[in-house]
Amino acid sequence: MPARQTPFELYAIDSLLSEEEREIRGTVARFVSDRIRPQIADWFESGELPARELARELGSLGVLGMHLEGYGCAGTSATAYGLACLELEAGDSGIRSLVSVQGSLAMFAMHRFGSEEHKQQWLPRMAKGEAVGCFGLTEPDFGSNPAGMRTTARRDGADWVLDGTKMWITNGSIADVAVVWARTGEDAKSIKGFVVPTDSPGFTARDVKKKLSLRASVTSELVLEGVRLPNSAVLPEVSGLRGPLSCLNEARFGIVFGALGAARDSLQTAIDYAVSREQFDRPIAGFQLTQRKLAEMAVALGNGTLLALHLGRMKDAGTLRPEQVSIGKFNNVTGALEITRTARSILGGNGITLEYPVIRHMNNLESVFTYEGTHEIHTLALGQALTGVPAYR
């Protein structure tokens, strides 16, 4: 073994991966170091992302909808998808978010619940990154409680007419197509999904400005004012909240791995920094307080990775349950956030600048902590799994 091991070498993580998984991971890692790392700090600072250009590049790699079968998708294992998310998020959570929303929310919704026409029309172009999708569930006043959504779809002759507002929509203003969830009646069972071309009259998207997190990511508000759609726009295979929630479950599986990427990049930065940074005439890596921080971070990262791979294997076997994905998000995002904060402390003053990736990852993870099911809701999902008693219904 070399004098210095990476945290993943310490855990022999590679021994748990197939050759194909290592190659896919390596390809994404190389893309990130060639294409993302040199520019990400500038994109983050300016709050501007060349998202459509990146979508095409990610599409040519095969990242978009990579774990879906057919329609131009690569059809990899779920574990390989997770590893790709990990490497993308080692670049930036915003890049991984772009991929999650495209593949696991917009494409997955059509792949699982859409008509053959939806699939033919959209999936091949979305897999290539020529078309970008977004996913509208959350509203300004309904986040953790989507059952209360106010967006409505009412019949008008053979058509549907949608009215409402969706909030915190990644890729919203750059999307060609939005999967929008709306109630067609009084109760949550009446919720249906609609495939909405974003050039439909009455559809507008405005970007959310003044963010201090996920700045290298497009976040929008969608406004639907009398958007008229044919009946063929309805996702035929699902009604009720099961539709959007199963999509979110896909996306948060990617987050279970992705958050580890942000953590690994922060930890590796802290290790490299500690080895070269001298105080009191010696590298700070030699101080016991620093070593304790590094050891605790490496163990949290390694354990989180073992958990993610366990969940990935279960997903590939078709046995993964939603509350098990909640364990992953609960543990790995919290752990990653803690790692980025501790890594920042090792970098001292340098840790607060965009010269190093750490505070960028740290701020990004504040969003990741909250989106795709807040940490609090995942906590309650675990509480319910253990007790049989739901705390929020």
Partner 1 sequence: MKIVVLVKFVPDATAARAFGADHTTDRVGVDGLLSELDEYAVEQALQVIEAAGEGEITYVTMGPENAGAALRKALSMGGDQAVHVLDDALHGTDALGTSLVLAKVLEKLEYDLVVAGMASTDGGMSVVPVMLAERLGLPAATFASTLSVADGKATIRRDGDLASETVEVTLPALVSVTDQTGEARYPSFKGIMAAKKKPVTTYTLADLGVAPDQVGLGGAATEVVEVTARPPRQAGVKVNDEGDGGVKLAEFLASQKFI
How near is the Cβ of 49 to partner 1 at its closest, in Å? 20
User: Is residue 332 left, alpha or beta, with left meaning phi > 0 and alpha meaning psi from -120 to 50?
Assistant: alpha
**What minimum distance in Å lies between the beta carbon of 30 and partner 1?**
7
| Options 9, 20, 69, 225; binder of partner 1; rule CB under 8 A | 20
Do the beta carbons of residue 65 and residue 102 sit within 8 Å? yes
First to last CA, the chain: 53
75 is a contact residue toward partner 1 (CB under 8 A): yes
Among 49, 74, 359, 365, binds partner 1 (CB under 8 A): 74
Q: What is the Cβ-side half-sphere exposure of residue 347, based on CA atoms within 13 angstroms?
A: 25
Pick the binder of partner 1 from 9, 23, 42, 156 (CB under 8 A).
23
Minimum Å gap between C-beta 317 and partner 1 is 19
> Which is nearer to partner 1, 2 or 230 (by Cβ)?
2
95 binds partner 1 (CB under 8 A): no
Spatial contact of 194 and 142, defined as CB atoms under 8 Å apart: no
Q: Which of 40, 49, 55, 66 binds partner 1 (CB under 8 A)?
A: 66
* Contact call for residues 172 and 164 (beta carbons, < 8 A): no
Tell me the chain's radius of gyration from C-alpha atoms: 21
Q: Please identify, using beta-carbon distances, which residue of 2 and 201 lies nearer to partner 1.
A: 2
DSSP string for residues in 36-89? ITTTHHHHHHHT---HHHHHHHHHHHT-TTTTS-STT-----HHHHHHHHHHHH
Count of residues that interact with partner 1, criterion CB under 8 A: 17
| CA distances, 132 to each of 36, 55, 168, 386 (Å) | 19, 7, 16, 39
Smallest distance, Å, CB 306 to partner 1?
Answer: 23
Site for partner 1 in 25-64 (CB under 8 A): 27, 30-31, 60-63
Binding part of the chain for partner 1, among 72-80, 174-182, 187-195, 339-347 by CB under 8 A, reads 72-80
> Which of 13, 40, 54, 80: binder of partner 1 (CB under 8 A)?
80
Residues of span 182-221 touching partner 1 by CB under 8 A:
none
The nearer residue to partner 1, 213 or 268, going by C-beta atoms, is 268
Closer by beta carbon to partner 1, 30 or else 206: 30
DSSP 265-294: HHHHHHHHHHHH-EETTEEGGGSHHHHHHH
Q: Which of residues 273-302 bind partner 1 (CB under 8 A)?
A: none
The 10 Å Cβ neighbour count of residue 191 is 24
Helices 242-276 + 322-347 axis angle, to 10: 30
Q: Pairing state of beta strands 177-183 and 133-136?
A: parallel
- State which of positions 318-337 bind partner 1 (CB under 8 A): none
Closest to partner 1 by CB, 57 vs 338, is 57
- In the complex, least distance from residue 276 CB atom to partner 1, rounded to whole angstroms: 16
Distance CA 299, CA 26 (A): 23
Q: Which stretch binds partner 1 (CB under 8 A): 73-81, 178-186, 265-273, 287-295?
A: 73-81
- State which residue, 80 or 182, has the beta carbon closest to partner 1: 80
The single residue among 11, 13, 36, 76 that binds partner 1, judged by CB under 8 A, is 76
Give the binding range for partner 1 (CB under 8 A) out of 18-26, 166-174, 305-313, 363-371: 18-26
Complex with partner 1: residue 80 or 177, whichever CB lies closer: 80
Cβ distance to partner 1 smaller for residue 28 or 109 = 28
At its nearest, how many Å lie between partner 1 and the CB of residue 24?
6
Which positions are annotated as active-site residues? 372
Residue type, 71: Y
Per DSSP, the three-state class of 213 is coil
* DSSP H stretches of helix in the chain: 7-10, 19-31, 40-46, 51-61, 78-91, 93-99, 108-113, 116-128, 242-276, 288-317, 322-347, 358-370, 375-387
Residues that bind partner 1 (CB under 8 A): 2, 19-20, 23-24, 27, 30-31, 60-63, 66, 74-76, 80
